[in-house]
Amino acid sequence: MLPELDPLLHSQLRLQIMSLLAGISSAEFNFLLEETGATRGNVSVQIKKLSEAGYIKVSKSFGESYPLTTCNITDKGLKAFDTYVENISKYLDRKKE
């Protein structure tokens, strides 16, 4: 039997955000916006969902005369991401059988 996939991470944009954050210590909102190619509103909504789940931590500050939003993946988020990758790999490995 194949494992269940985390429905929160089974969204393309949320998975993109988590993939980006898993490889770096932190990322500014504009970096995530550019890398995903999504709209500002959609990235904002998905960041909020990931934050509410405890998968990322969002810090807001004020940069050079503009607001600055920075995201970091949490230990819980990294574990969820690693589990998701492991589980999706089982789906792909099954195809080879």
Residue type, 87: N
Closest CA to 10 of 72, 94, 87: 87
4 located within any domain: no
The predicted-structure confidence for 31-76, as pLDDT tens digits, reads as follows 999 999 999 999 999 999 999 999 999 999 987 778 899 999 999 9
Residue 97 has pLDDT above 60, yes or no: no
The total of other beta-carbon atoms located within 10 Å of residue 45's CB is: 14
- Is 60 in a helix, a strand, or coil? strand
- Give the integer Cα–Cα distance in Å for 11 and 46: 9
The predicted-structure confidence for 2-34, as pLDDT tens digits, reads as follows 889 999 999 999 999 999 999 998 999 999 999
Closest CA to 84 of 2, 8, 5, 1: 5
56 located within any domain: yes
46 located within any domain: yes
**CATH code, 86:** 1.10.10.10
pTM of the model: 0.90
- Give the integer Cα–Cα distance in Å for 81 and 96: 23
> Into how many domains does the chain fold?
1
